[in-house]
Amino acid sequence: MTNTSPRPSIDRDAIIRILSSNTPDAIEAVRRQAEQILLTHCGNKVYYRGLVEFSNQCACNCLYCGIRAENTSVRRYAMNEAEIIEAAQWCAQAGYGSIVLQSGERKDEPFVAFVENVVRRIKRETVSTDLPQGLGITLCVGEQTEATYRRFREAGAHRYLLRIETTNPALFARIHPAGQTLASRMQALEHLHTAGFQVGTGVMIGLPGQTLDMLADDVVFFHRFDIDMIGMGPYIPHAATPMAGWPNPDWPPARAFQTALLMVAAVRISLKDVNIAATTALQAMDPVGREKGLQFGANVIMPQLTPTEHRGDYLLYENKPCIDEDKSECRRCLERRIQSVGRTLAINEWGDSRHFARRTAEA
């Protein structure tokens, strides 16, 4: 962690009370409080990050993930440099302001050099009068060495998403193979801080064996690690994974979905000025799930820019929505969704986390 200045403590009991809300009145009271804090600390705007899932090749075997290395039923793909640059230029021209480059995890030098080069080109080739510093770039390409993170940062990426999925050691160990450890994930998040990134992470909600106490610990972790951006969604099983048949009696889908919304609210109420994504996994469970995410305190949406021919091959979970819509349809659809909940769409803005500005000013 880079910031060692004293910071307000966080009320774990209050988080558990929020997550335990189970009547319509109690849930609405939480939602209103989260919305008020959002408007006070972050304003009314919703920020876009155009999402390019540029490769589903992955060396890891997370037990919940549909594109894990051992799933041989997946058709593997990797977009080439020209395809990614074209998507970035569309993103810039559409006024999205920021792009997310996401892939499975590879640590080999050809992959690292490819990402580094693509980041440099996007920075160079998306500069315009509307975007004088080019697109804001977020990377989401897994655990890397500190040296690699520094290379990506120097190339021009300034945000990085690395989901931790759960901070409970026993649960983390149960849903990952032996070689993937919670300690190494936390170390990577530390390295992202020291490399100068705005750091994003997140968890799944409704994992077999997960409890509200564990979720409250996750929120405490976000605070303790000075996380700038959070993405959370309900756990949705994928049939071609080892976890597909695991019994999960405590988490019927409706409870996982509702608790995911309450987690969004709990994070907004507790952390106040972080960016929170209304994730696609919310929409996978409810046709208006992302709108609900915005109403419970989220302020970021990630419209799909992955070419439609690849989207069906990037399924971390099943029933992923927006598989067929092309990016123009996706843009129009999301604009309607944002306006339907009374929020304003930010155009040509990076939409950086206010938390990042505050923690770096205080450091």
DSSP per-residue letters across 241-254: STTTT---TT--HH
The verdict on 62 binding ligand SF4 (CB under 6 A) reads yes
Nearer to ligand SF4, 42 or 189 (CB): 189
Q: Rounded to the nearest whole angstrom, what is the least distance from the CB of residue 216 to ligand SF4 in the complex?
A: 24
Cα-based distances in Å from 211 to 24, 83, 215, 271, 281? 21, 42, 7, 21, 20
Query: Which CB sits closer to ligand SF4, 21 or 55?
Result: 55
* Least distance between ligand SF4 and beta carbon 163 (Å): 8
Bridge partners of residue 165, in order along the sequence: 203
| One residue of 19, 38, 51, 58 binding ligand SF4 per CB under 6 A | 58
Closest among 192, 164, 191, 158 to 49, alpha carbons compared: 158
| From candidates 31, 68, 331, 337, binder to ligand SF4 by CB under 6 A | 68
CB 185 within 8 A of CB 234: no
Q: Does 60 bind ligand SF4 (CB under 6 A)?
A: yes
Q: Which positions from 119 through 178 interact with ligand SF4, judged by CB under 6 A?
A: 142
> Residues 190, 220: contact at Cβ < 8 Å?
no
Q: How many residues bind ligand SF4 (CB under 6 A)?
A: 11
Per-residue mark of binding to ligand SF4, 82-121 (x: CB under 6 A) = ----------------------xx----------------
**Of the ranges 59-67, 121-129, 154-162, 238-246, which one interacts with ligand SF4 (CB under 6 A)?**
59-67
Nearer to ligand SF4, 46 or 175 (CB): 175
281 binds ligand SF4 (CB under 6 A): no
Closest CA to 275 of 187, 162, 352, 192: 352
CA distance linking residue 198 with residue 224, whole number of Å: 15
For every residue of 257-269, DSSP letters joined together read HHHHHHHHHHHHH
Q: For residue 320, what are its two tokens?
A: 């992923």
Task: State the residues that interact with ligand SF4 by CB under 6 A.
Answer: 58, 60-62, 65, 67-68, 104-105, 142, 316
